[in-house]
Amino acid sequence: MVHVGIGYDVHALVEGESLIIGGVTIPHKKGLKGHSDADVLMHAICDAVLGAIGERDIGQFFPDTDPRWKGVASKVFLEEAQRQVGFHKGTLVNVDATIIAQEPKLNPHVTQMVQNIAEALHLSPDRVGVKATTNERIGFLGREEGIAAMAVASVDINR
């Protein structure tokens, strides 16, 4: 039976931080603030995968109160989500995600993001969808105060 999970993440854009999305370091005047590398895309996908197997969110596995996760690459979180799928006797079918960012333009980086995500989740890149959109200058995302991502994942559970 196929189960579906949904994930969402948002981080503030601040000066002095690196901008890492989908495991790609993107040149920009601001970066995302967070305990780990603040990769909103990988965090949203991680929550979607965990949700599809009935687990709680990324914070249950990697709490921001634990110094072990300070500055850690979010690829580690996706790899753990994939391991959890195996523990639940499941097979990850696909993930699909959207990044919402007014700036910078992300489309030139999407192919590498897909590759990084596919590698971490042991999926073929054709099973990973990543899109980027703006917020049409509306709200905190439109004012470039942050970047958000939302994702869905499907997992075939073999029980």
Q: What is the pLDDT of residues 136-151, one digit of tens each?
A: 999 999 999 999 999 9
Q: How confident is the model at residue 105 (pLDDT cuts 50, 70, 90)?
A: very high
Distance of CA 12 to the CA centre of its chain: 15
Convert the pLDDT of each residue in 36-83 to its tens digit. 999 999 999 999 999 999 999 988 888 788 878 788 899 999 999 999
CA neighbor of 99 nearest in space, from 73, 66, 133, 75: 133
Burial (CB count within 10 angstroms: exposed 0-12, middle 13-18, buried 19+), residue 91: middle
DSSP β-ladder status, 90-100 and 128-133: parallel
**Residue ranges of the domains in the chain?**
2-157
CATH topology of domain 2-157: 60s Ribosomal Protein L30; Chain: A; (3.30.1330)
- The pLDDT score that the predictor gives to residue 68 is 80
Eight-state DSSP code of residue 15: T
